Amino acid sequence: MTLRSNVVAAALAVLFSSAALAQSATPAAATTGDTAAPTKAQLRAEMRADRAANHALAKQVREALYKNKDLNDTDIAVFANKRTGKIILAGTILDESQDQIAQDAASKVPGVQTVATKLTLYAAP
């Protein structure tokens, strides 16, 4: 019976030591950055980088719209999301054909996936 007790005790010791090793490995992985939550400074830096990327994409789209001579008399604002590639065009146009022209010009910019428009037709007073 002592042999059986020793085998059971050894098996339990191995079982508990492997569980202890697994628990002690988790904090070590967290300190290496694998599963740790980002700090406030890291989140702010990421948000600043996202905003800069959004502004850069919006600027590229605005330049593409500005180069198009058919859109000279329009007032179009550009909102961009670099991560999704979504562009929203808002503002006023003089005729309905300019809506499609603006969409086509914006969709040709690298990084643009989808273009949504909130353009309204200018109504003379």
The terminus-to-terminus CA distance of the chain in angstroms comes to 103
Is the domain of 118 the same as that of 92? Answer: yes
Contacting residues for 68 by C-beta, under 8 A, at least 6 apart: 101, 102, 105
Cα–Cα distance measured from residue 60 to residue 51, given in angstroms and rounded to the nearest whole number: 14
In tens, the pLDDT along 12-67 reads: 455 555 444 455 444 544 455 556 888 999 999 999 999 999 999 999 999 999 99
Is the domain of 71 the same as that of 82? Answer: yes
Is the domain of 48 the same as that of 107? Answer: yes
- Total residues belonging to the chain: 125
Residue 22 or 69, more confident: 69
Residue 75: what pLDDT? 92
Residue 36 or 113, more confident: 113
Is the domain of 31 the same as that of 45? Answer: no
pTM: 0.68
Residue 124: what pLDDT? 77
